[in-house]
Amino acid sequence: MKILRHCLLCLFVTFLFSYRLNAQAWKPLFNGKNLEGWKHVGGGSRYVINGLLASKGGMGLLYWTGGKVGNCQIKVVYKMQKFNSNAGIFIRVPVEPKEEWMPVFYGYEVQIDNHPETSNEDEYHISGTLYAMTKPKSKPGKPGPQWNTMLITLDGPRTLVYLNDSLVTDYREGEATPPRKFDFEPYPGIRPNEGYLGLQNHGDEDVVYFKEVSIRPLKK
């Protein structure tokens, strides 16, 4: 009887441990084969080649059609085609995108651009920042063709961005942001805790390849 109880206890502990691991497992949003679950708006397009999300033309946005995301972590693995290329990961987009500019103005773009100075922009526009909104705590972006891993945490009104294991952004809704400098920058204001997720294609001269886009809920 004692042996049976011990075996049952072991099975229960194993099940519970396995359940907790699976509950926090990464869910891939990009299957590496096609654009199932995604929709493109705006200029240019995104397509799949050799298991990677590539792009041509722009500016446009490929967004996840599975609904709004929040209270989660988003993992994105990407590389620049050139030494430096421009793109972005959009989060907290308040409504489903019908064109490419609404997300720019009313969501957040987690920037991909290691050298914003080449387009007369400052460090508030560097990889891992909320574009034009936050000052980077580090600048760990790797040039093409090296791979970069970005981890975005949406914890209620708080947004954290780690790039290659270094913290770049820690921002909470309502904190001060700099005034707009360009008419293509986002408008100030509170973003929702949950919003649409998207990947920007910037143009033929700025190609960024995405290998992984995954999501998992925050631990309670």
Mean pLDDT of the chain: 92
**Cα pseudo-dihedral 184, 188, 192, 198, rounded to 10:** 20
pLDDT of residue 170: 98
Q: Is the pLDDT of residue 17 over 60?
A: no
pLDDT tens-digit readout, 162-205: 999 999 999 999 999 999 999 999 999 999 999 999 999 999 99
Tokens encoding 152: 């975005």
For residues 66 and 9, the model is more confident at: 66
Q: Domain boundaries in the chain?
A: 29-217
User: Model's pTM, two decimal places?
Assistant: 0.88
- Helices first, then strands: H and E counts in the chain: 2, 13
Q: What is the CATH T-level fold of the domain 29-217, as seen in this structure? A: Jelly Rolls (2.60.120)
